[in-house]
Amino acid sequence: MTNLQYAAYRTLWGALDLLFPPLCGGCGKMGSRWCKECQARVTVLDGMLCEVCGLPQEKTGVCSACLAERPLFHALRAWAVFEEPVQSALHKLKYRRDISMGDALASQMIPFVKGLGWNIDLMIPIPLSKQRMKERGYNQVAMIAHPLAMALGIRYAPGELARQKTTRSQVGLSKVERRSNVQDAFKAGNGVMGKSVLVVDDVSTTGSTLSSAAEALSSVGAKMVYALTVARALPRHGLRHV
């Protein structure tokens, strides 16, 4: 049923594209929401990665940072490096109210997520605070997570995670500040008890937000918490070339 819903969802966007010819979220060229040229320019984050946080490294296993202080999710993976054209596409989705970019990005992410081989019961987007939801009118992460869940046949359960405090933007904060900023920021519902959960965000840098969400989900009995983001901001120059 979920896959049929996804087919209908994509058909609706296709019809809207015919009626209102879109501009590419990456390069601005008319005719496609996410053109083939921009799709080909995406730097997929694969290769030698830390088994936990998903950052590139020179050897297999768990990185030194995760050995010293392990995040509270089982594993984090990002589809792409946070650079052009993905950066522009996410900016368009988040700040320019182009919700069509959610479906466009999700559709390209499907093979990557399938390839992870994770056994997931529920998919949950990182929620906005009530204030930010009121200002923006929609959760940009949900615009990606919902079609992704439909395509993968995973139950979409946004109501199982809520923000219980308003936090500052993580942009510009240090790792320590980020961790403190999102401490106890989330509250999870009992529907995750005994479930394997995939929590989704748009961009990760240190993984602090996702780790805090994982803590809330685990505290009410989630069996396993995985984390997925569209993109990863890499912490030092040249890291993506490792």
Residue ranges in the chain modelled with pLDDT below 50: 237-242
What pLDDT score was predicted for residue 183? 65
pTM to 2 decimal places: 0.89
Domain ranges for the chain, please list them: 2-241
What pLDDT score was predicted for residue 25? 96
What pLDDT score was predicted for residue 221? 97
Contact 80, 234 (CB under 8 A): no
What pLDDT score was predicted for residue 5? 87
Check: CATH 3.40.50 for 2-241? Answer: yes
Residue with tokens 């936090």: 167
Q: Cα separations (Å) of 230 from 77, 114, 144, 154?
A: 9, 14, 9, 17
Strand, helix or coil at 57? Answer: coil
The secondary element (H helix, E strand) that includes residue 186 is strand 186-188
What pLDDT score was predicted for residue 238? 46
Instruction: Check whether the bond before 147 is cis (ω within 30° of 0).
Output: no
What pLDDT score was predicted for residue 37? 97
User: Beta partners for 197?
Assistant: 122, 225
What are residue 216's phi and psi, to 5 degrees?
-65, -40
Residue with tokens 């959960």: 197
The secondary element (H helix, E strand) that includes residue 163 is strand 161-163
Strand, helix or coil at 61? Answer: coil
Instruction: Identify which of 52, 24, 48 has the alpha carbon closest to the alpha carbon of residue 38.
Output: 24
